[in-house]
């Protein structure tokens, strides 16, 4: 049973059907719909959406994620970036988040697909945030994405250092993720961003330590939200607890005091929650 602060009210799907129809027509997949994100009415209403490129089969298996694990056998949909840019232009989306599954089966981890999507989306007039996998820690892959010109480069550390091995796929790593973020900044990313889920058994002090590590990696924007178990399957880790809105607020204050340029901390916060607003806030600070 979820606590009351996680309850969300259903919206009017008719109001967003224009976007849904166009996305279906172009054969595009959004995390907003796929993950049944509770913020969809707000985000789509404001011209923001998160698209998943490079398919729906991930080479990894994280214990908090409901994406299917498998071997995509190197397959890449070559026309995807072009369709994405066309759809974004047609719908007049102003802020687009592009993310993907981990593609350890591709030599560059999917970096060139991200780069192509960014270039075409920028050409379509959108602001672009990329939320990338760790590319196996490849600095060249990070550089290729940064060179394509995203407005925000995001990569999530997901949880605190101690819990990383039991929560994320064994090929992910806390220090590797920090290194990806640091490298993006060094290669010239204008703004970098990361996200954490709470309720996995971490202590307040461990979250503060993770925030400190992110600041040391020169990360500008942070999101902190509640982990919600995607299914009851034993594969999916049970939440240790539901963190109260007051605790989220306190951590948000701690993060702001540390010097992050923009912070979102609350039970319903997701990586791309209020992404456009956070971007604008970061530019102001």
Does residue number 93 form part of the binding site for ligand SF4 (CB under 6 A)? no
Contact window for ligand SF4 (CB under 6 A) among 38-46, 107-115, 204-212, 219-227: 38-46
Contact window for ligand SF4 (CB under 6 A) among 96-104, 139-147, 220-228, 232-240: 96-104
Contact window for ligand SF4 (CB under 6 A) among 31-39, 80-88, 197-205, 258-266: 31-39
Does residue number 54 form part of the binding site for ligand SF4 (CB under 6 A)? no
Q: Which is nearer to ligand SF4, 48 or 164 (CB)?
A: 48
Residues 6+ apart with CB under 8 A from 187: 142, 143, 146, 147
Structure tokens at 180: 């990806």
Q: Is residue 21 exposed (0-12), middle (13-18) or buried (19+ Cβ within 10 Å)? A: exposed
Of 51, 42, 36, 31, whose CA–CA distance to 96 is shortest?
51
Total of residues contacting ligand SF4 (CB under 6 A):
23
Contact window for ligand SF4 (CB under 6 A) among 18-26, 95-103, 113-121, 183-191: 95-103
Cα separation, 204 vs 242, in Å, equals 13
Cα separation, 255 vs 223, in Å, equals 10
Q: What angle do CA 71, 72, 76 make, to 5 degrees?
A: 160
Site for ligand SF4 in 266-285 (CB under 6 A): 270, 272-273
Candidates 16, 23, 28, 32: give the one binding ligand SF4 (CB under 6 A).
32
Residues 6+ apart with CB under 8 A from 17: none
Q: Which is nearer to ligand SF4, 61 or 138 (CB)?
A: 61
Query: Which residues is 194 bridged to in the sheet?
Result: 222
Contact window for ligand SF4 (CB under 6 A) among 5-13, 44-52, 107-115, 184-192: 44-52
Structure tokens at 99: 């993310």
Site for ligand SF4 in 212-271 (CB under 6 A): 270
What is the CB-side half-sphere exposure of residue 192 using CA atoms within 13 A?
Answer: 27
Does residue number 49 form part of the binding site for ligand SF4 (CB under 6 A)? yes
Of 178, 264, 176, 180, whose CA–CA distance to 222 is shortest?
264
Does residue number 48 form part of the binding site for ligand SF4 (CB under 6 A)? yes
Does residue number 62 form part of the binding site for ligand SF4 (CB under 6 A)? yes
Candidates 19, 28, 43, 111: give the one binding ligand SF4 (CB under 6 A).
43
Q: Which is nearer to ligand SF4, 205 or 233 (CB)?
A: 233
Residues 6+ apart with CB under 8 A from 238: 229
Cα separation, 133 vs 136, in Å, equals 8
Contact window for ligand SF4 (CB under 6 A) among 14-22, 60-68, 220-228, 253-261: 60-68
CB atoms within 10 A of CB 250: 13
Site for ligand SF4 in 104-163 (CB under 6 A): 133
Binding site for ligand SF4 (CB under 6 A): 31-32, 37, 39-40, 43, 48-50, 58, 60-62, 65, 67, 97, 101-102, 133, 169, 270, 272-273
């Amino acid at each position: 049973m979820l606590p009351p602060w996680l309850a969300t009210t259903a919206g009017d799907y008719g109001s967003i059907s224009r976007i849904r129809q166009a996305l279906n027509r172009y054969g595009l997949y959004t995390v907003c719909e796929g993950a049944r994100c509770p913020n969809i009415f707000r985000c789509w209403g404001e011209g923001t959406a998160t698209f998943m490129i490079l398919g729906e089969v991930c080479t990894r298996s994280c214990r908090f994620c409901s994406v299917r694990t498998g071997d995509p056998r190197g397959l890449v949909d070559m026309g995807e970036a072009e369709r994405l840019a066309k759809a974004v232009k047609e719908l007049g989306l102003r802020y687009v988040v592009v993310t993907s599954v981990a593609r350890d089966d591709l030599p560059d981890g999917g970096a060139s697909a991200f780069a192509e999507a960014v270039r075409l989306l920028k050409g379509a007039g959108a602001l672009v945030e990329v939320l990338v996998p760790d590319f196996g820690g490849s600095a060249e892959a990070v550089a290729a994405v940064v060179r394509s010109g995203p407005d925000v480069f995001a990569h999530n550390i997901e949880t605190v250092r101690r819990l990383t091995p039991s929560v994320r796929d064994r090929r992910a790593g806390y220090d590797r993720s920090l290194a990806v973020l640091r490298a993006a900044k060094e290669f010239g990313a204008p703004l970098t961003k990361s996200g954490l889920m709470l309720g996995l058994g971490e202590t307040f002090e461990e979250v503060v330590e993770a925030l400190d590590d992110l600041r040391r990696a020169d990360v500008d924007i942070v999101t902190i939200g509640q982990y919600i178990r995607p299914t009851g399957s034993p594969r999916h880790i049970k939440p240790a607890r539901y963190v109260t809105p007051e605790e989220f607020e306190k951590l948000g204050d701690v993060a702001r005091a540390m010097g992050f340029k923009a912070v979102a901390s609350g039970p319903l916060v997701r990586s791309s929650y209020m992404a456009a607003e956070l971007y604008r806030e970061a530019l102001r600070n």
